Structure 1
């Protein structure tokens, strides 16, 4: 009696992977990332934001309409909330045509460009005409606003604009090129700018003063 033995059937060999599939895992392997230094967030700065001095732009800029737009000061305010700190910005701007027409604006926003846009728009809306004499002022004047006090004195041609900070920004926008100034009060930018503005509004040329006397008489 013969016994039959069953030979096991080997499974069909699977097709070899293509070279592209074999190279895929190597290509998909993530590259080692550079470890970040402790105490820093994405974007740098450690969450403190840019320094106040780096955001100050004292350079005059002339737009398409011929107006001189000048950013005097940008302030940052931080509000502490549950998730961290929330920043807001306020901008103080001066706008003038360089011919005696000038305006001051103040704007607040959560971003610096939007705050500057609001302040310049506010300045354009509230522009007034001041009386200047050539490239200087007709007489000495003392401007006061809140704690700010600014003295303005006329100067001869060639003296230049002896002023700094917010006083210089206002006088440049108004078109004054020869003047002597001195800040006698608070150093707050808003107070100094508005004191200079009030001083310019007090100016009167001789012809306008005579006409005013004739109209009253």
Structure 2
């Protein structure tokens, strides 16, 4: 929630911005900024926009498939997969996004700007870059990992 004051001839005009994160807990997440003259209206607008901006995130069970770093404006976010039972070790904006996505175990660290809006956007950018390592190898080599020829020396 952010309060914005615009100085005009007749005084100050107050508006409110609300960064809203929505998710289904199964890898779908959306985030958006709603702005209005009243807090409930800003939250409602943000929720509507966030639902329209939903994207699918590739997860590896209760955690993320690999370590990732992403930057948005001055905010930098580092996300690391964690062992089962670790929980979501994250602050503010990163925690909200992770819980909305449905990630149960992850470690995170933010660097640079502490602007929550930029941290949320950097987190979403990092999640968009996640790829399943096995599927990535299959796409790159053009074969299925399960049907790949076995090394004769290994057997």
1:101 and 2:25 matched: no
By how many angstroms is 1:79 displaced?
Answer: 2.6
Give the RMSD, CA atoms, in angstroms: 1.6
Q: How far apart in 2 are the matches of 1:211 and 1:194? A: 30
Q: Which residue of 1 aligns with 2:152?
A: none
Q: What count of residue pairs does the alignment treat as equivalent?
A: 143
The partner residue of 1:177 within 101, 104, 122 is 104
> 128, 131, 150: which is aligned to 2:77?
150
Unaligned 5+ segments in structure 1 are 1-73
TM-score by length of 2: 0.86
Give matches, 1:1-217, under 5 Å: 74-215=1-142
| Runs of 4+, deviation exceeding 4 Å | none
**Rounded Cα–Cα distance in structure 1 between residues aligned with 2:12 and 2:81:** 48
Return the alpha-carbon distance in structure 1 between the equivalents of residues 38 and 142 of structure 2: 50
Point out where structure 2 has 5 or more consecutive residues left out of the alignment. Answer: 144-155
Q: State how far apart, in whole Å, the 2-side matches of 1:214 and 1:120 are.
A: 41
Normalising by structure 1, what TM-score?
Answer: 0.62
3-state DSSP class of the match of 2:113?
coil
Q: Tell me by how many angstroms 1:82 deviates.
A: 4.7
Larger RCO (CA under 8 A, 6+ residues apart): 2
Structure with bigger gyration radius: 1
CA distance in 2, matches of 1:81, 1:126: 33
Aligned to 2:149: none
Q: Which has the higher strand share?
A: 2
